[in-house]
Each structure stands twice: as structure tokens, then as C-alpha cells.
Structure 1
Amino acid sequence: MRMMFVYYIITMILTKELVMATEQCSVYRFKSPFYPGESCKNIYNKNAESRDIPGYYWITDGPTKVYCGMTYTGSSCEDIYNNNPETGDKSGYYRINDNQWTYCNMTEITTTTEDLIPTCAGVGGGWRRIAHINISAGGDCPNGWREDTYSGISFCRVVSDDLRTCSSAYFSTNGTNYQRVCGRARGYQKGIPLGFFSYHQDGQTTIDGWYGDGLLITYGSPRQHIWSYTIGLFDNHTNNYNCPCAVGGGLSPPPFVGTNYYCESGAADIQNYSAYYFNDPLWDRSGCITSNCCDTPTQPWFYRELSGTTTNDIETRLCSRQQFDRGSPLIDQLELYIQ
């Protein structure tokens, strides 16, 4: 009798698992080993039968499934999005110009603030991702930046330890014609950053200088401004090194920056050259003692429409007026999209 009871329990468990697996078949049926591969492109090239089956595939270089738009192609992510309404909620990897695979954010526009953020401030779907850095998840810093670790936390930083330095990382657009740019960044404060002090006091009056402490995003030659993520000294103590939005205010941004920036401090009112302020990530719309430093609904995402179309790669500069041991921007996350 006892053996029969155990058999009954095991049978019920296996039956339940079979039912659950059957219900999930439409999502998981492409799981390796049926179509093994390192990426959507690899699966597409190795398995001709997969080319007629867009869907969620498990790939060997990632722990989760990804969407592979096998049957879709176009001149851009936006082109695929506009010509194929069914891709509207399927962000994943698509073929651009037939054989160039890229990640496309296909999230559709909705009306709530939370849902607008993944669509880059609500401006449609079909965004092409050109940068995706997440050091906190084990990623690597791009060429041109230096990876470092302190107290078990890894981040990207300027290459040099010297005063008045910038380090550039470039992200290729692969010749894609675009006019809109969006993205987000997350960073941390180290020591004593100076906000926009250098523009006013160091003669850094052009876009080519270290006009602000932080992450400065530009394109083209001569450089043209897209967005600046800057760091001020304090949140709630008057100082010229503060962000303009801080208590008592700080020095204003350059005219070529205008309102196209976010600025925040990770420190309240403690001046410490050696401190790493990991307890308050920057530009994430939380932790601001001064609320107007976090009052943009779409923050940390930015959105810019350029004056015209371009194919220029995008340059991201980490800039610091101080020596590294006295103050510097630290970056652990960055995403950039074009359309």
C-alpha cells in the first residue's frame, strides 16, 4: 500500500510537470539542443529551418532566452518596427540590411511614465542599440576606459590618474543613418567632483575640453553635444562645485549643453577626497536630497533629436578636473540607442 501511495505521488508530480511543459511549449520549443548556437545570427546561419521561425531561443552565451526575429529584415530597427506591427512587443535581435544582426528595442508607446522609459521617453519603438555596458553584472569596460575595483565593486574610470583628463570610448553606428539618440547611464561619485566649475574657471569654454566632471556624450568632428551626465560636490550645502539644481545652486552648464544634461551628487554635505559614494547611484532618479535634481519623469533615460541626420559614431568621454585620488566619475552602466 505504501509503495502504491509513493508511486501515485510521483505520477502526479510528473503529470503536473508535463502539463506545465506543454503549456510553455510555444515559448521553450526552440531550446537547445534543437537549434544550438552562440547567438541569433549563429542559429540562423547554421539551421536553415529556423529561418522561418521567429521566436524565443536559448543561446549558449546567455543564461536566458532571447527573441530572434528570424523572418524580419529591413534598413533599420525603426523600418522593421513600422512595417511589421506584430514586432511591437518583441525586443530582441533582428537582421538589418539582410545580414547585419543588432538588438532592437521594439517596445510600443504607452501612456504611463514607467512604460515610457523603455521606449526612450515615449518616442516609438524600433530603436537600435549600439552600447550596452553593465559592469555590475560581470561586463567589461569599453576600449578607451579603465576598469577598476574598490571594496568589491567594479566600475569604469578615466585611464590617467592625472589632473584635467578625459578618456574616450567610441560606439559604432555601423554607418546607420539616424537623427534621434536616447540612452541611460549609472555612475558613482568618488571624492570631490566639481560640476561645471571647469567651464567657468579653467577656461574650458569649448565642447572639446573637460567642461564638466562626469560622462560627456557627443558625436561628429567637430564635436556636437548630445547629453552630459555630470556630478556635483554636495546635494544640500552651498558651493560653486555643486550641480545647478542643488541647494544654493552651483555654476550653470555651458550654452552648448543647455538643458540637455542630468546632474546629481552622491554626497549630502561631507567633504572627503578618498570616499567612494556607492550607497547613492547617480542619475537614477532616486536618492536626491534636492528633489529638483530628480524631477524629470523619464530619468535616467535621455532623449535628443539632432538638427539633422548623421551616420557618425558616438563618443562618450569620462572627464575629471581632479586627480583620480581626489575625485573622479565612476561608471558601471551605459546604454545607447539610435533611430
Structure 2
Amino acid sequence: MDRTCCGSRGGWMKVADIDMTKSNHQCPVGFKLITRTTTPYRACGRPDRLSGCTSTTFATNGARYSRVCGRILGYQIGSPDAFSRQSRGIDSYYIDGISLTHGQSPRKHIWSFAGAVNEGSYFSTSICPCSNNGYRGTVPSFVGNDYFCDSAIRGEGSFSPGLFYPSDPLWDGQGCGATSTCCAFNNPPWFCKQLSQPTTDNIELRICGGSSNSADDSPFEVVELFVN
């Protein structure tokens, strides 16, 4: 009841609490546990597959809510392509990153967490719309401004397929270089979403990618979600 989010204190119900820095926390069923000998030690990614989304659902237990707030911290593997596949629509892998939605047929968008290949590249559709180097990706209309976008590679840095980039977590609001304003856009790491109408829907989290997870992925380390 002391939680302050979206500018208001109290009345928030926690529906998701995953922190893989804690040894007693586990990945949701169906997600792949990624372990390392250096920080980050544990994260949750897509299982071995060519493309698509891996999903888990957080129950709201029938609670009626109209606002969602929270944070997700993740990492970059390889060369995710942000919103370059947006034409596939909300029910498919429109994003290389993490999608939060509620409801079904179609899903209703809450927030998107896009991973980009780097901060500024000739792969113009594979970088963040908050890049300021002259090349900008675009976002689907159903996403609007409700997203975070980040990359662990500064400037137009090169990338290696399948390489884990641990030094700069995604969507934490820190570490942006001179070619990006993404650390300021929507003030990550915490998001706040006012829904168009109240609902009791459960909340779905999906990690999506258009390539094999051995080439690129956006595994998460922390997921915290609240409804009000």
C-alpha cells in the first residue's frame, strides 16, 4: 500500500516479481535459463527456436484495474532489430524484445521493450526511434509512444551474432551514448500506462524475435509489475 507509481501512492497490487539476481527465483515455464560465470549470472530468454515469441501470463486474480506500472531489465544478445518487423502485428513477433499485453484476439498493448542492434547504424529500421543520428526506426501504431528502446552497443558499433553484452543492461535509463536520447524518452526504467478502459485481464509477457535465439535475443533479469 506504500507503493508510489504513476504519481499516486497506495492501492497498487503486485502481479509480477521476478529477480534472477536472487537464487530462489526461477524463470517462468517455457523460458530458457541463461547462466554465466560473471554478472549477470542468470537471465531468462527464449528457448531454442528459429523465430517467434515465448509467453508467460501473470494473474491479476480478477482484480479490476485501469493502470499498470512496472519495470523490466534485460540484456542484448547479438543484433536485435527493434521494431523492424512491425507489419506482423500485435499477435505475432512485431518486436525484437519484450511485449506486455492484456486480453486476446487481438491482444491489447500495454508496453513494449525494444532491443536495437546499436545506437546508430545503416540498418535504419533496426535501431531505436529515439536515435538522433539521422536514421530512425518506426513503431507500430498500436504501440504509439508506449515503449522503451535501448541497445548495449554505443554509436555505430559492430556486433557479433550470439554474443551476450553484459556491461549495459537494457531499459534501465542509463548508459546511452551521444547518438541516442533513449535514456530520457519516457523516463525508464519505470513505465506508467493508463488503459483506455478498466479490465480484469491477466497480463501477458512475451519475449519475441525474428531470428534464432542463438543469433539474437533479449533475455530479462528483472520483471516487476503492479496494477491499480
**TM exceeds 0.5?**
yes
Alignment of 1:1-339 (within 5 A): 104=1, 106-107=2-3, 119-138=4-23, 139-152=25-38, 153-159=41-47, 161-199=48-86, 203-204=87-88, 206-222=89-105, 223-240=107-124, 241-246=126-131, 247-268=133-154, 269-289=157-177, 290-296=179-185, 298-339=187-228
Task: Work out the percentage of aligned pairs sharing the same amino acid.
Answer: 37
Counterpart position of 1:44: none
| Matches of 1:208 and 1:298, distance apart in 2 | 27
Any idea what the Cα deviations from partners look like across 1:83-102, whole Å, max 9, x if unmatched? xxxxxxxxxxxxxxxxxxxx
C-alpha distance after superposition, 1:105-151 (max 9, x if no partner): x14xxxxxxxxxxx223233221001000001222112232212134
How far apart in 2 are the matches of 1:207 and 1:146?
A: 23
Bigger-Rg structure (1/2): 1
Separation in 2, partners of 1:157, 1:318: 7
Query: Could you tell me the TM-score, scaled by structure 2's length?
Result: 0.91
State how far apart, in whole Å, the 1-side matches of 2:30 and 2:66 are: 25
Change over 3 Å in CA distance of 1:329–1:297 after alignment to 2: closer
Q: Within 1, Cα distance between the matches of 2:175 and 2:138? A: 22
Once the two structures are superposed, residues 278-297 of structure 1 have per-residue CA deviations (whole angstroms, 9 ceiling, x without a partner) of 00001111001144101146
Hey, which of these two has a bigger chunk of helix by percent? 1
CA distance in 2, matches of 1:148, 1:227: 24
Letter in 2 for 1:262: F
What is the one-letter code of the residue matched to 1:230? A
User: What's the C-alpha RMSD, in Å, of the aligned pairs?
Assistant: 1.5
Who is 1:48 aligned against?
Answer: none
Larger RCO: Structure 1 or Structure 2 (Cα < 8 Å, ≥ 6 residues apart)? 2
Change (3 A) 1:305 1:336: same
* Aligned twin of 1:72: none
Higher strand proportion, which one? 2
Rounded Cα–Cα distance in structure 1 between residues aligned with 2:193 and 2:143: 12
Partners of 2:165 and 2:136 lie apart in 1 by 20
Q: CA deviation at 1:243?
A: 1.0
Q: How far does the alpha carbon of each residue in 1:1-47 deviate from its partner, in whole angstroms, 9 at most, with x for none?
A: xxxxxxxxxxxxxxxxxxxxxxxxxxxxxxxxxxxxxxxxxxxxxxx
Q: Any stretches of 5+ residues in structure 2 without a counterpart?
A: none
Tell me the distance in 2 between the aligned counterparts of 1:177 and 1:249: 41
TM norm structure 1: 0.62
CA distance in 2, matches of 1:162, 1:192: 16
Q: Which residue identity does 2:26 align to in structure 1? A: D
CA shift in 2, pair 1:124/1:249, >3 Å: farther
Aligned length: 219
Confirm or deny: 8 A CA contact 2:52 2:93 kept in the other structure. Answer: yes
Q: Secondary structure at the match of 2:75?
A: strand
1-structure distance, mates of 2:90, 2:203: 14
Q: Which runs of 5+ in 1 are unaligned?
A: 1-103, 108-118
1:66 paired residue number: none
